[in-house]
Structure 1
Amino acid sequence: MNYEIRSTFNIDAPKSVTIKGRTPGHPAVPQQDLQYIFRQSTLSDLFTWYLLGERSLYLTGPTGCGKSSVIIEVAARLNIPLWNVVAHSRLETPELIGGYRLNAGGGMDFVHGPLIIAMKEGGWFLIDEIDLLDPSTAAGLNGIAEGRPITIPETGEVVTAHPDFRFIATANSNGAGDATGLYQGILRQNLAFLDRFYMIEVGYPDQDIEKKILTEVAPSVGSDIRDRMVAIANEIRALFVKGETEVTLSTRTLTRWARITAFQGRAAASQGMSNGETLTKAFDRALGFRAEPDTRTALHAVLQRHFGDRRSP
């Protein structure tokens, strides 16, 4: 089934341009976020990977920039089944492939894991934070990343990947480790494993896109306030990159801040709270309480410089 790119993704494209998807109805297709705004450059990269028929994809970029969400939203609109797992240092291949489980009769049945199900169903398998995975475990996925059959040791079953199966990974690093020291637990991955991926670098959306996002998620917050929120986000990100803060204001956190501000705005006004107090209270619940006390004080100073004591949002 083909989908018109322009109407499906709400981007500027000729009406004649379409992309292949699946027929609706599979239970593993994620639900769409109707307020999601696609970035044309990232979408173009994704479509190139998809149309080339590459088996595996690796998206790298800073925390909260939208690496996983763009995969989820593309799968939702093309009706592609998606199985999603979050990696960690203790994750082992059998957890992805499957294992024996006790059945109702007291016996043991082998139950396929999410990776094998995705291979059989021809869906997308998304593993988030793959650079937290032990490199030896990741290396065990080399054949799968290339689309080769896998033999399940416990049963001897040989699983051949469906032609539409795709293996997708996201990470804060490009697999070479974290030279910045900004992300804890990141491990340098095996070069042979990384060599199997089509790589896409994802950054934070530009200011115009983030302003659009805030308009969608918090329309009751004034445009001047939203513009200042975006400016603050970029300033805090710059401090984070320079190592001057241990927290950053991702797009995910930015939208949370705007939502909380919108929710609290009317109540705050009725209680006589100033706009600056309302914004700071919402900011702390979105990000500030994750920061060390000295950092929080510095972040509050950034807010004060941008907002001062303005009227209620």
Structure 2
Amino acid sequence: MTLEQELQNLSGIQLDAGEVFSGKKSGRLMNGFSERVSCTPTVNSEYLFHDSMRDIAVWFMSPADPLYLFGPTGSGKTSLIKQLAAKLKYPVLEVTAHGRLDFPDLVGHHSVQKGNMEFQYGPLALAMKYGGLFLLNEIDLLDPATASGLNGILDGESLCIPENGGEMINAHPMFRLAATANTNGAADTTGLYQGTLRQNLAFMDRFWLCEVGYPEKGAEISLLGNIAGDLPESLRESMVEYANEVRQLFMGMGDKQHYGETIDVTFSTRTLIRWVDLTVKFQPLAKQGIQPVTYALDRALGFRAAPETKAMLHELAQRIFPQLADE
């Protein structure tokens, strides 16, 4: 069965918003889907939701302006909206933008099917036709001229496909459009995100903006307690402190950094979890005189860093974990 056939067979249902997002009935109904399809995200029971989920949950509840999520690398913008979509069984048709992406790539193209030339709908057309979330990641890498092709869709107009005989697609009631980016559309002033482009003001004016930062310290400590309760609580707290220090350095907000100074890696919650998981797995190395924490740190993050950054990460580890000798 093709994805289009899966989407054709979907039906919408009404769900209690409180029950979906908090497990407690609220009496407030919202639309979702009755079953999952191949492009529906899988619910991650250990996922750590940001405070920003409130904005996105409200956005999902009723037809609204398109949503633009922005924030630093590793803050979980894409995973946040996909996990909320997973709870509603929303299909997610996802595209990552780049400088060569053209509007027809989103709409569709002709291809040979069983000896015949047929039009194959692209992700935007499928989401509009059958309902679902069209998710455009890294939208600030998109050429503003290409982005402007979305203006009519962002305004709620129908999609015209000249290549398919001028077909007009009216947006399905459960069609949603969201974009993610590292910048707020006004280009990068920090030097962190090379290649990002300043987006047209009229284009940006069509979006509901939501800023997504890194999770709160207490939430991540609680998460680590759930997945690695055997590690001492003080160690888990220090690991979260370390991750937040690295994030500050990445954003150029370290105590001793000058304007424009940054490092080339950062800690997502996913990387933090990987570090903790590897620390547990490498515990036997302690018998060989190797510290599992710093050994796991390199394999979770350090090996991706430039040599000078890696040295800085080790110095920071010695400061935050004074009881541990560097390997």
The TM-score, its normalising length taken from structure 2, stands at: 0.86
Q: What amino acid maps onto 2:183 in structure 1? A: S
2: CA distance between counterparts of 1:128 and 1:171? 7
Q: What amino acid maps onto 2:49 in structure 1? A: F
Which residue of 1 is the match for residue 10 of structure 2? none
Q: Which of 252, 258, 267 pairs up with 1:249?
A: 267
Q: What amino acid maps onto 1:301 in structure 2? A: E
1:79 aligns with 2:89: yes
1: CA distance between counterparts of 2:77 and 2:141? 16
Which residue of 1 is the match for residue 21 of structure 2? 9
Which residue of 1 is the match for residue 285 of structure 2? 268
Q: What amino acid maps onto 1:268 in structure 2? A: L
CA contact (8 A) 1:65 1:250 kept: yes
1:292 aligns with 2:306: yes
CA contact (8 A) 1:120 1:160 kept: yes
Q: 1:293 to 1:264 in 2, by over 3 A?
A: same
* CA apart distance, 1:9: 2.6
Q: What amino acid maps onto 2:295 in structure 1? A: K
SS in 2 for 1:140: helix
1:20 aligns with 2:46: no
**RMSD between aligned alpha carbons?**
2.0
1:196 aligns with 2:206: yes
1: CA distance between counterparts of 2:275 and 2:241? 13
SS in 2 for 1:127: strand
Q: 1:185 to 1:53 in 2, by over 3 A?
A: same
1:118 aligns with 2:135: no
Q: 1:4 to 1:224 in 2, by over 3 A?
A: farther
* CA apart distance, 1:17: 4.6
CA contact (8 A) 1:55 1:165 kept: no
User: What does 1:98-137 correspond to in 2, within 5 Å?
Assistant: 98-105=108-115, 107-137=116-146
* CA apart distance, 1:8: 2.8
Q: What amino acid maps onto 2:149 in structure 1? A: G
Q: 1:17 to 1:258 in 2, by over 3 A?
A: farther
Q: Please identify runs of 4+ aligned residues in structure 1 that moved more than 6 A.
A: none
CA contact (8 A) 1:59 1:169 kept: yes
Residues 93-129 of structure 1: per-residue CA shift (max 9 Å, x gap): 1111111112222x32111111111111111100111
Residues 66-95 of structure 1: per-residue CA shift (max 9 Å, x gap): 111111111111111111111111111111
Which residue of 2 is the match for residue 139 of structure 1? 148
Residues 153-179 of structure 1: per-residue CA shift (max 9 Å, x gap): 212111111011111000000000000
Q: What amino acid maps onto 1:286 in structure 2? A: A
Which residue of 2 is the match for residue 151 of structure 1? 160
CA contact (8 A) 1:10 1:38 kept: no
The TM-score, its normalising length taken from structure 1, stands at: 0.90
Which residue of 1 is the match for residue 7 of structure 2? none
1:42 aligns with 2:52: yes
Q: Which moved more, 1:212-221 or 1:62-71?
A: 212-221
SS in 1 for 2:47: coil
Q: 1:20 to 1:214 in 2, by over 3 A?
A: same
CA contact (8 A) 1:59 1:201 kept: yes
Count of aligned pairs between the two proteins: 304
1: CA distance between counterparts of 2:80 and 2:187? 24
Which residue of 2 is the match for residue 278 of structure 1? 292
Q: What amino acid maps onto 1:22 in structure 2? A: F
Which residue of 1 is the match for residue 43 of structure 2? 32
2: CA distance between counterparts of 1:273 and 1:7? 50
Structure 2: where are the runs of 5+ without partners? 1-12, 253-260
2: CA distance between counterparts of 1:205 and 1:45? 15
Q: 1:15 to 1:166 in 2, by over 3 A?
A: closer
SS in 1 for 2:33: coil
The sequence identity of aligned pairs, in percent, is 45
CA contact (8 A) 2:19 2:25 kept: no
Which residue of 2 is the match for residue 308 of structure 1? 322
SS in 2 for 1:8: helix
Structure 1: where are the runs of 5+ without partners? none
* CA apart distance, 1:6: 4.4
CA contact (8 A) 1:260 1:282 kept: yes
